[in-house]
Amino acid sequence: RRENKRRAEKVEAAEPRNKLPSPASLLPTDPALYSGPFPFYGRPSELGCFSLDAQRQYHGDAQALRYYSPPPTNDQGPHFDLRDGYPDRYQPRDEEVQEGLDHLLRWLLDHRGKLEGGPGWLAGAIVTWRGHLTKLLTTPYEQQEGWQLAASRFQGTLYLSEVETPAARAQRLARPPLLRELMYMGYKFEQYMCADKPGSFPDPSGEVNTNVAFCSVLRSRLGNHRLLFSGEVDCTDPRAPSTQPPACYVELKTSKEMHRPGHWRSFYRHKLLKWWAQSFLLGVPNVVAGFRNPEGFVCSLKTFPTMEMFEYVRNDRDGWNPSVCMNFCAAFLSFAQNTVVQDDPRLVHLFSWEPGSPVTVSKHRDAPYAFLPTWYVEAVTQ
Ligand code: 0WD
Ligand code: CA
Protein backbone atom coordinates (compact mmCIF):
# COMPACT_ATOMS: atom_id res chain seq x y z
CA ARG A 1 0.00 0.00 0.00
CA ARG A 2 2.83 2.36 0.86
CA GLU A 3 4.42 1.44 -2.47
CA ASN A 4 1.14 2.31 -4.17
CA LYS A 5 1.03 5.69 -2.48
CA ARG A 6 4.60 6.49 -3.39
CA ARG A 7 3.86 5.65 -6.99
CA ALA A 8 0.76 7.83 -6.98
CA GLU A 9 2.86 10.71 -5.67
CA LYS A 10 5.42 10.14 -8.38
CA VAL A 11 2.72 10.35 -11.04
CA GLU A 12 1.13 13.40 -9.45
CA ALA A 13 4.48 15.13 -9.23
CA ALA A 14 4.83 14.77 -12.97
CA GLU A 15 1.50 16.52 -13.44
CA PRO A 16 1.86 20.28 -13.57
CA ARG A 17 -0.52 22.14 -11.28
CA ASN A 18 -1.62 24.71 -13.83
CA LYS A 19 -5.13 24.39 -15.16
CA LEU A 20 -6.63 24.43 -18.61
CA PRO A 21 -6.92 25.93 -21.15
CA SER A 22 -3.21 26.49 -21.62
CA PRO A 23 -0.78 25.01 -21.12
CA ALA A 24 -2.58 21.70 -20.71
CA SER A 25 -1.84 19.27 -17.88
CA LEU A 26 0.07 16.13 -18.74
CA LEU A 27 0.01 12.47 -17.80
CA PRO A 28 3.22 10.52 -18.40
CA THR A 29 3.00 7.00 -19.83
CA ASP A 30 6.45 5.51 -19.09
CA PRO A 31 6.07 1.90 -17.88
CA ALA A 32 8.58 2.49 -15.04
CA LEU A 33 6.14 4.92 -13.40
CA TYR A 34 3.39 2.31 -13.17
CA SER A 35 5.12 -0.84 -11.93
CA GLY A 36 4.10 -2.02 -8.52
CA PRO A 37 1.28 -4.15 -7.19
CA PHE A 38 -1.62 -5.10 -9.41
CA PRO A 39 -4.55 -2.81 -8.62
CA PHE A 40 -7.99 -4.11 -7.69
CA TYR A 41 -9.96 -5.19 -10.75
CA GLY A 42 -13.37 -6.66 -10.05
CA ARG A 43 -14.57 -9.73 -11.86
CA PRO A 44 -16.63 -8.27 -14.74
CA SER A 45 -20.30 -9.12 -14.43
CA GLU A 46 -22.64 -9.04 -17.39
CA LEU A 47 -25.58 -6.64 -17.08
CA GLY A 48 -27.08 -7.42 -20.46
CA CYS A 49 -26.34 -7.44 -24.15
CA PHE A 50 -27.47 -6.18 -27.54
CA SER A 51 -27.06 -7.10 -31.17
CA LEU A 52 -26.46 -5.21 -34.38
CA ASP A 53 -27.96 -6.78 -37.49
CA ALA A 54 -26.81 -6.98 -41.12
CA GLN A 55 -28.05 -3.40 -41.62
CA ARG A 56 -26.29 -2.28 -38.43
CA GLN A 57 -29.64 -1.85 -36.68
CA TYR A 58 -29.82 -2.19 -32.90
CA HIS A 59 -31.72 -5.02 -31.20
CA GLY A 60 -31.91 -5.32 -27.44
CA ASP A 61 -31.30 -9.07 -27.50
CA ALA A 62 -28.73 -11.78 -28.25
CA GLN A 63 -29.84 -12.55 -31.81
CA ALA A 64 -26.32 -12.03 -33.20
CA LEU A 65 -24.64 -14.30 -30.65
CA ARG A 66 -22.89 -17.25 -32.28
CA TYR A 67 -21.79 -20.60 -30.89
CA TYR A 68 -18.24 -21.89 -30.73
CA SER A 69 -17.99 -24.94 -32.99
CA PRO A 70 -14.36 -25.93 -33.63
CA PRO A 71 -13.55 -28.61 -36.23
CA PRO A 72 -13.14 -32.19 -34.97
CA THR A 73 -9.63 -32.80 -33.64
CA ASN A 74 -9.34 -36.44 -34.76
CA ASP A 75 -7.97 -35.80 -38.28
CA GLN A 76 -5.01 -33.75 -39.61
CA GLY A 77 -6.32 -30.42 -38.37
CA PRO A 78 -8.17 -27.61 -40.12
CA HIS A 79 -7.71 -26.42 -43.69
CA PHE A 80 -9.66 -23.14 -43.68
CA ASP A 81 -9.31 -21.04 -46.80
CA LEU A 82 -9.57 -17.53 -45.35
CA ARG A 83 -9.57 -15.89 -48.77
CA ASP A 84 -12.64 -17.78 -49.92
CA GLY A 85 -15.49 -15.39 -50.68
CA TYR A 86 -13.31 -12.30 -51.02
CA PRO A 87 -14.45 -9.85 -52.23
CA ASP A 88 -17.72 -11.13 -53.72
CA ARG A 89 -19.26 -12.44 -50.48
CA TYR A 90 -18.10 -9.55 -48.30
CA GLN A 91 -20.32 -6.80 -46.88
CA PRO A 92 -17.96 -4.57 -44.92
CA ARG A 93 -19.33 -2.09 -42.42
CA ASP A 94 -19.26 1.55 -43.58
CA GLU A 95 -16.33 2.90 -41.60
CA GLU A 96 -17.19 6.50 -42.49
CA VAL A 97 -20.04 6.25 -39.99
CA GLN A 98 -18.56 7.18 -36.63
CA GLU A 99 -20.97 5.63 -34.15
CA GLY A 100 -19.30 6.86 -31.00
CA LEU A 101 -21.08 5.44 -27.95
CA ASP A 102 -24.51 5.46 -29.61
CA HIS A 103 -25.39 1.75 -29.40
CA LEU A 104 -24.19 1.51 -25.83
CA LEU A 105 -26.18 4.64 -24.92
CA ARG A 106 -29.26 3.09 -26.49
CA TRP A 107 -28.81 0.07 -24.22
CA LEU A 108 -28.22 2.33 -21.22
CA LEU A 109 -31.36 4.34 -21.94
CA ASP A 110 -33.41 1.15 -21.91
CA HIS A 111 -31.82 -0.22 -18.73
CA ARG A 112 -30.68 2.70 -16.58
CA GLY A 113 -33.76 2.43 -14.32
CA LYS A 114 -32.99 -1.20 -13.53
CA LEU A 115 -29.27 -0.94 -12.72
CA GLU A 116 -28.26 -2.53 -9.45
CA GLY A 117 -27.16 0.20 -7.06
CA GLY A 118 -29.72 2.62 -8.50
CA PRO A 119 -29.14 5.90 -10.33
CA GLY A 120 -26.43 6.75 -7.81
CA TRP A 121 -24.28 3.95 -9.13
CA LEU A 122 -24.37 5.25 -12.70
CA ALA A 123 -23.69 8.83 -11.56
CA GLY A 124 -20.34 7.67 -10.17
CA ALA A 125 -19.42 5.44 -13.10
CA ILE A 126 -17.36 5.68 -16.27
CA VAL A 127 -19.15 4.59 -19.46
CA THR A 128 -17.14 3.53 -22.49
CA TRP A 129 -16.32 0.79 -25.00
CA ARG A 130 -14.08 -2.06 -23.93
CA GLY A 131 -11.89 -1.32 -26.97
CA HIS A 132 -11.10 2.14 -25.57
CA LEU A 133 -9.99 0.62 -22.27
CA THR A 134 -7.83 -1.88 -24.20
CA LYS A 135 -5.98 1.04 -25.79
CA LEU A 136 -5.40 2.55 -22.36
CA LEU A 137 -4.07 -0.74 -20.99
CA THR A 138 -1.51 -1.11 -23.78
CA THR A 139 -0.45 2.56 -23.88
CA PRO A 140 2.73 2.23 -21.75
CA TYR A 141 4.05 -0.30 -24.31
CA GLU A 142 2.63 1.11 -27.53
CA GLN A 143 5.22 2.52 -29.93
CA GLN A 144 3.25 2.94 -33.13
CA GLU A 145 -0.27 4.27 -32.81
CA GLY A 146 -1.53 7.19 -30.76
CA TRP A 147 -5.11 7.79 -29.70
CA GLN A 148 -7.61 10.48 -28.84
CA LEU A 149 -10.35 10.04 -26.29
CA ALA A 150 -13.17 12.54 -25.93
CA ALA A 151 -14.61 12.87 -22.44
CA SER A 152 -17.84 14.47 -21.21
CA ARG A 153 -19.42 14.50 -17.79
CA PHE A 154 -23.21 14.31 -17.70
CA GLN A 155 -25.32 13.82 -14.58
CA GLY A 156 -22.19 12.75 -12.78
CA THR A 157 -21.23 9.97 -15.18
CA LEU A 158 -18.00 10.28 -17.14
CA TYR A 159 -18.41 9.18 -20.77
CA LEU A 160 -15.32 8.32 -22.83
CA SER A 161 -15.54 8.00 -26.61
CA GLU A 162 -12.67 7.51 -29.02
CA VAL A 163 -11.99 10.00 -31.79
CA GLU A 164 -10.26 8.74 -34.90
CA THR A 165 -6.88 10.52 -35.10
CA PRO A 166 -6.01 12.28 -38.37
CA ALA A 167 -3.19 9.72 -38.84
CA ALA A 168 -5.57 6.78 -38.31
CA ARG A 169 -8.06 8.29 -40.74
CA ALA A 170 -5.40 8.83 -43.38
CA GLN A 171 -4.22 5.24 -42.92
CA ARG A 172 -7.75 3.90 -43.17
CA LEU A 173 -8.46 5.82 -46.38
CA ALA A 174 -5.17 4.66 -47.89
CA ARG A 175 -5.49 1.08 -46.64
CA PRO A 176 -3.56 -1.17 -49.04
CA PRO A 177 -5.60 -3.89 -50.81
CA LEU A 178 -3.61 -6.63 -49.06
CA LEU A 179 -4.51 -5.21 -45.66
CA ARG A 180 -8.18 -5.04 -46.66
CA GLU A 181 -8.06 -8.70 -47.54
CA LEU A 182 -6.28 -9.50 -44.28
CA MET A 183 -9.12 -7.82 -42.34
CA TYR A 184 -11.62 -9.94 -44.24
CA MET A 185 -9.66 -13.06 -43.38
CA GLY A 186 -10.06 -12.39 -39.67
CA TYR A 187 -13.84 -12.32 -40.05
CA LYS A 188 -13.80 -15.34 -42.34
CA PHE A 189 -12.05 -17.31 -39.61
CA GLU A 190 -14.98 -16.53 -37.27
CA GLN A 191 -17.34 -17.96 -39.86
CA TYR A 192 -15.38 -21.24 -39.97
CA MET A 193 -15.42 -21.51 -36.18
CA CYS A 194 -18.96 -20.42 -35.27
CA ALA A 195 -22.43 -21.86 -35.70
CA ASP A 196 -25.67 -19.91 -35.63
CA LYS A 197 -27.31 -22.29 -33.17
CA PRO A 198 -25.93 -24.41 -30.35
CA GLY A 199 -25.30 -27.94 -31.61
CA SER A 200 -25.27 -26.97 -35.29
CA PHE A 201 -22.23 -26.49 -37.52
CA PRO A 202 -20.50 -23.54 -39.19
CA ASP A 203 -21.66 -22.62 -42.69
CA PRO A 204 -18.81 -20.90 -44.57
CA SER A 205 -20.85 -20.70 -47.81
CA GLY A 206 -22.66 -17.51 -46.82
CA GLU A 207 -21.62 -13.87 -46.79
CA VAL A 208 -19.32 -12.20 -44.31
CA ASN A 209 -21.15 -9.12 -43.07
CA THR A 210 -19.22 -7.05 -40.55
CA ASN A 211 -22.25 -4.96 -39.64
CA VAL A 212 -23.41 -7.88 -37.54
CA ALA A 213 -22.21 -7.80 -33.95
CA PHE A 214 -23.08 -9.21 -30.56
CA CYS A 215 -22.11 -6.93 -27.69
CA SER A 216 -22.00 -7.77 -24.01
CA VAL A 217 -22.56 -4.97 -21.47
CA LEU A 218 -20.69 -5.38 -18.21
CA ARG A 219 -19.83 -3.66 -14.99
CA SER A 220 -16.62 -3.89 -13.05
CA ARG A 221 -14.33 -1.77 -10.90
CA LEU A 222 -10.72 -0.73 -11.37
CA GLY A 223 -9.29 0.68 -8.13
CA ASN A 224 -12.01 3.09 -7.04
CA HIS A 225 -13.36 3.57 -10.56
CA ARG A 226 -16.73 2.01 -11.32
CA LEU A 227 -16.90 0.93 -14.93
CA LEU A 228 -19.83 0.25 -17.24
CA PHE A 229 -18.60 -0.86 -20.63
CA SER A 230 -19.52 -2.93 -23.64
CA GLY A 231 -17.47 -5.14 -25.90
CA GLU A 232 -18.06 -7.17 -29.01
CA VAL A 233 -17.98 -10.90 -28.33
CA ASP A 234 -17.19 -13.43 -31.07
CA CYS A 235 -19.04 -16.43 -29.67
CA THR A 236 -20.11 -18.46 -26.64
CA ASP A 237 -18.93 -21.99 -25.96
CA PRO A 238 -21.92 -24.22 -25.15
CA ARG A 239 -19.48 -26.74 -23.69
CA ALA A 240 -17.57 -24.31 -21.48
CA PRO A 241 -17.14 -25.36 -17.82
CA SER A 242 -19.20 -22.32 -16.83
CA THR A 243 -22.24 -21.39 -18.92
CA GLN A 244 -22.39 -18.03 -17.17
CA PRO A 245 -21.25 -15.05 -19.25
CA PRO A 246 -18.59 -13.79 -19.63
CA ALA A 247 -16.93 -17.11 -18.58
CA CYS A 248 -18.47 -18.93 -21.57
CA TYR A 249 -17.26 -16.41 -24.16
CA VAL A 250 -14.48 -17.15 -26.63
CA GLU A 251 -12.36 -14.63 -28.53
CA LEU A 252 -11.16 -15.67 -31.99
CA LYS A 253 -7.98 -14.35 -33.59
CA THR A 254 -5.83 -15.08 -36.59
CA SER A 255 -2.10 -14.69 -36.77
CA LYS A 256 0.75 -15.54 -39.12
CA GLU A 257 2.15 -19.05 -38.87
CA MET A 258 5.48 -18.91 -37.03
CA HIS A 259 8.55 -21.04 -37.65
CA ARG A 260 11.39 -19.50 -35.65
CA PRO A 261 11.80 -18.81 -31.91
CA GLY A 262 12.30 -15.12 -32.71
CA HIS A 263 8.86 -14.98 -34.36
CA TRP A 264 7.23 -16.46 -31.27
CA ARG A 265 9.12 -14.05 -28.95
CA SER A 266 7.89 -11.06 -30.92
CA PHE A 267 4.36 -12.51 -30.98
CA TYR A 268 4.40 -12.83 -27.17
CA ARG A 269 5.71 -9.29 -26.74
CA HIS A 270 3.34 -7.50 -29.05
CA LYS A 271 0.28 -9.47 -30.13
CA LEU A 272 -0.29 -11.36 -26.91
CA LEU A 273 -0.29 -8.07 -24.99
CA LYS A 274 -3.19 -6.81 -27.10
CA TRP A 275 -5.03 -10.13 -26.88
CA TRP A 276 -4.55 -10.25 -23.12
CA ALA A 277 -5.72 -6.65 -22.53
CA GLN A 278 -8.83 -7.08 -24.63
CA SER A 279 -9.98 -10.38 -23.16
CA PHE A 280 -8.90 -9.73 -19.58
CA LEU A 281 -11.01 -6.56 -19.36
CA LEU A 282 -14.16 -8.40 -20.37
CA GLY A 283 -13.41 -11.62 -18.48
CA VAL A 284 -13.13 -13.79 -21.58
CA PRO A 285 -11.19 -16.86 -20.40
CA ASN A 286 -9.84 -18.15 -23.72
CA VAL A 287 -8.53 -16.79 -26.99
CA VAL A 288 -8.48 -19.30 -29.84
CA ALA A 289 -5.87 -18.48 -32.46
CA GLY A 290 -5.91 -19.72 -36.03
CA PHE A 291 -2.44 -19.62 -37.60
CA ARG A 292 -2.52 -18.85 -41.30
CA ASN A 293 0.12 -19.85 -43.83
CA PRO A 294 1.30 -17.56 -46.64
CA GLU A 295 -1.44 -18.97 -48.91
CA GLY A 296 -4.11 -17.79 -46.47
CA PHE A 297 -5.05 -21.17 -45.02
CA VAL A 298 -5.47 -21.84 -41.32
CA CYS A 299 -3.85 -25.23 -40.72
CA SER A 300 -3.45 -25.09 -36.94
CA LEU A 301 -5.33 -23.81 -33.93
CA LYS A 302 -4.09 -22.97 -30.48
CA THR A 303 -6.01 -21.95 -27.38
CA PHE A 304 -4.41 -19.30 -25.19
CA PRO A 305 -6.00 -19.04 -21.75
CA THR A 306 -6.12 -15.33 -20.95
CA MET A 307 -4.81 -15.87 -17.43
CA GLU A 308 -1.73 -17.71 -18.76
CA MET A 309 -0.65 -15.17 -21.38
CA PHE A 310 1.59 -13.22 -19.05
CA GLU A 311 3.66 -16.39 -18.40
CA TYR A 312 5.10 -16.11 -21.92
CA VAL A 313 6.76 -12.78 -21.07
CA ARG A 314 7.15 -13.01 -17.30
CA ASN A 315 10.91 -13.62 -17.61
CA ASP A 316 11.41 -11.43 -20.67
CA ARG A 317 13.17 -8.11 -20.02
CA ASP A 318 11.41 -6.67 -23.06
CA GLY A 319 8.05 -8.15 -22.14
CA TRP A 320 4.93 -6.45 -20.78
CA ASN A 321 3.53 -6.43 -17.28
CA PRO A 322 -0.20 -6.59 -16.49
CA SER A 323 0.28 -4.42 -13.38
CA VAL A 324 1.77 -1.62 -15.47
CA CYS A 325 -1.17 -1.80 -17.87
CA MET A 326 -3.80 -1.71 -15.14
CA ASN A 327 -2.02 0.92 -13.01
CA PHE A 328 -1.68 3.20 -16.02
CA CYS A 329 -5.34 2.74 -16.89
CA ALA A 330 -6.34 3.57 -13.31
CA ALA A 331 -4.07 6.63 -13.35
CA PHE A 332 -5.59 7.81 -16.62
CA LEU A 333 -9.11 7.39 -15.27
CA SER A 334 -8.20 9.42 -12.16
CA PHE A 335 -6.59 12.03 -14.40
CA ALA A 336 -9.75 12.21 -16.52
CA GLN A 337 -12.06 12.32 -13.48
CA ASN A 338 -10.03 15.19 -12.01
CA THR A 339 -9.82 17.07 -15.31
CA VAL A 340 -13.44 16.84 -16.42
CA VAL A 341 -15.08 18.67 -13.55
CA GLN A 342 -17.88 20.60 -15.23
CA ASP A 343 -21.09 18.63 -15.79
CA ASP A 344 -22.09 19.53 -19.34
CA PRO A 345 -22.88 17.16 -22.23
CA ARG A 346 -21.77 19.79 -24.78
CA LEU A 347 -18.35 20.21 -23.24
CA VAL A 348 -15.55 17.86 -24.32
CA HIS A 349 -12.10 17.37 -22.89
CA LEU A 350 -10.03 15.77 -25.60
CA PHE A 351 -7.23 13.56 -24.29
CA SER A 352 -4.55 13.02 -26.92
CA TRP A 353 -1.60 10.73 -26.87
CA GLU A 354 1.28 9.97 -29.24
CA PRO A 355 3.98 7.36 -28.53
CA GLY A 356 6.96 8.84 -26.73
CA SER A 357 4.94 11.72 -25.24
CA PRO A 358 2.67 12.25 -22.26
CA VAL A 359 -1.13 12.44 -22.56
CA THR A 360 -2.27 16.00 -23.24
CA VAL A 361 -5.70 17.66 -22.86
CA SER A 362 -7.60 20.27 -24.81
CA LYS A 363 -11.08 21.69 -24.24
CA HIS A 364 -13.86 21.96 -26.83
CA ARG A 365 -17.54 22.82 -27.06
CA ASP A 366 -20.18 21.29 -29.38
CA ALA A 367 -19.27 20.10 -32.92
CA PRO A 368 -17.17 18.34 -33.98
CA TYR A 369 -16.12 16.79 -30.66
CA ALA A 370 -19.32 16.67 -28.58
CA PHE A 371 -20.53 13.07 -28.78
CA LEU A 372 -23.48 12.63 -26.43
CA PRO A 373 -26.45 12.58 -28.83
CA THR A 374 -29.40 14.93 -28.28
CA TRP A 375 -31.81 11.99 -28.10
CA TYR A 376 -29.85 10.62 -25.17
CA VAL A 377 -29.36 13.91 -23.35
CA GLU A 378 -33.03 14.86 -23.74
CA ALA A 379 -34.37 11.46 -22.69
CA VAL A 380 -32.21 11.46 -19.58
CA THR A 381 -32.96 15.10 -18.73
CA GLN A 382 -36.75 14.67 -19.35
O1 0WD B 1 -16.31 3.72 -34.52
C2 0WD B 1 -15.32 3.48 -33.86
N3 0WD B 1 -14.26 4.27 -33.89
C4 0WD B 1 -15.27 2.28 -33.00
C5 0WD B 1 -16.35 1.47 -32.96
C6 0WD B 1 -14.07 2.01 -32.24
C7 0WD B 1 -14.19 0.83 -31.44
C8 0WD B 1 -15.31 0.07 -31.44
N9 0WD B 1 -16.37 0.39 -32.20
C10 0WD B 1 -17.55 -0.42 -32.18
C11 0WD B 1 -17.45 -1.58 -33.10
O12 0WD B 1 -18.01 -1.31 -34.33
C13 0WD B 1 -18.24 -2.64 -32.37
O14 0WD B 1 -19.62 -2.51 -32.57
O15 0WD B 1 -17.64 -0.96 -30.92
C16 0WD B 1 -17.95 -2.34 -30.99
C17 0WD B 1 -16.81 -3.21 -30.52
O18 0WD B 1 -16.36 -2.65 -29.42
P19 0WD B 1 -15.14 -3.23 -28.59
O20 0WD B 1 -15.38 -4.66 -28.30
O21 0WD B 1 -14.99 -2.28 -27.51
O22 0WD B 1 -13.94 -3.10 -29.63
P23 0WD B 1 -12.60 -3.94 -29.73
O24 0WD B 1 -12.29 -4.71 -28.50
O25 0WD B 1 -11.57 -3.00 -30.22
O26 0WD B 1 -12.89 -4.94 -30.90
C27 0WD B 1 -13.66 -6.11 -30.75
C28 0WD B 1 -14.11 -6.56 -32.10
C29 0WD B 1 -12.99 -6.67 -33.11
O30 0WD B 1 -12.45 -7.97 -33.05
P31 0WD B 1 -10.87 -8.17 -33.12
O32 0WD B 1 -10.68 -9.64 -33.06
O33 0WD B 1 -10.43 -7.55 -34.40
O34 0WD B 1 -10.30 -7.45 -31.91
O35 0WD B 1 -15.03 -5.62 -32.63
C36 0WD B 1 -14.80 -5.48 -34.03
C37 0WD B 1 -13.70 -6.44 -34.42
O38 0WD B 1 -14.28 -7.63 -34.87
N39 0WD B 1 -14.49 -4.08 -34.25
C40 0WD B 1 -15.01 -3.35 -35.19
N41 0WD B 1 -15.89 -3.66 -36.11
C42 0WD B 1 -16.23 -2.70 -36.96
N43 0WD B 1 -15.74 -1.44 -36.88
C44 0WD B 1 -14.46 -2.07 -35.05
C45 0WD B 1 -14.85 -1.09 -35.95
N46 0WD B 1 -14.38 0.17 -35.89
N47 0WD B 1 -13.63 -2.07 -34.00
C48 0WD B 1 -13.65 -3.31 -33.55
CA1 CA C 1 -11.99 -11.50 -32.77
Q: Whole-angstrom Cα distance, residue 230 to residue 103? A: 9
pLDDT tens-digit readout, 160-212: 999 999 999 999 999 999 999 999 999 999 999 999 999 999 999 999 999 99
Position 293 scores a pLDDT of 98
pLDDT at 214: 99
What percentage of residues in the chain have a pLDDT greater than 90? 91
Candidate from 232, 233, 235 with most ligand 1 atoms within 8 A of CB, to mutate: 232
Residue 3, pLDDT > 90, answer: no
Largest CA distance in the chain: 66
Q: Which atom of ligand 1 is nearest to the CA of 230?
A: 21
Q: Residue 24 — very low, low, confident or very high, per pLDDT cuts 50/70/90?
A: low
Of all ligands present, the nearest one to the C-alpha of 252 is 2
Going by CA atoms, what residue is nearest to atom 7 of ligand 1?
131
For the chain, what is the mean pLDDT? 94
Q: Give the pLDDT confidence score for residue 146 in this predicted structure.
A: 98
- Span 133-152, mean pLDDT? 99
Work out the average pLDDT over 232-244. 98
Q: Average the pLDDT over 232-256 and give the result.
A: 98
Q: How far is CA 47 from CA 112, 114, 227, 232, 284, in A?
A: 11, 10, 12, 14, 15
d(Cα 156, Cα 117) in Å, to the nearest integer?
15
Inform me whether the pLDDT recorded for 23 exceeds 70. no
pLDDT at 231: 99
Position 16 pLDDT exceeds 90: no
ipTM: 0.95
The HSE-up count of residue 300 (CA atoms within 13 Å, CB side) is 8
CA angle 353, 186, 267 (to 5 degrees): 60
* Selected residue with higher pLDDT from 64 and 7: 64
Burial 267-288 (b: 16+ CB within 10 A, else e): bbbbebbbbbbbbbbbbbbbbb
Interval 251-301: pLDDT, tens: 999 999 999 999 999 999 999 999 999 999 999 999 999 999 999 999 999
pLDDT over 50 (residue 242): yes
List all residues whose CB is within 6 A of at least one atom of ligand 1: 93, 98-99, 129-131, 134, 162, 164, 186, 210, 213, 231-232, 253, 278
Mean pLDDT of 72-91: 94
Q: Which atom of ligand 1 is nearest to the CA of 93?
A: 42
pLDDT on residue 106: 98
Lowest mean pLDDT among 11-25, 115-129, 292-306: 11-25
Kindly report the backbone phi and psi dihedral angles of residue 379, in degrees, each rounded to the nearest multiple of 5, phi listed first: -65, -35
User: Is 60 exceeded by the pLDDT of residue 9?
Assistant: no
pLDDT digits 0-9 by tens, 43-80:
999 999 999 999 999 999 999 999 999 999 877 899 99
Phi, psi of 96 (to 5 degrees): -75, -25
- Is the dihedral angle over the CA atoms 278, 280, 282, 283 positive or is it negative? positive
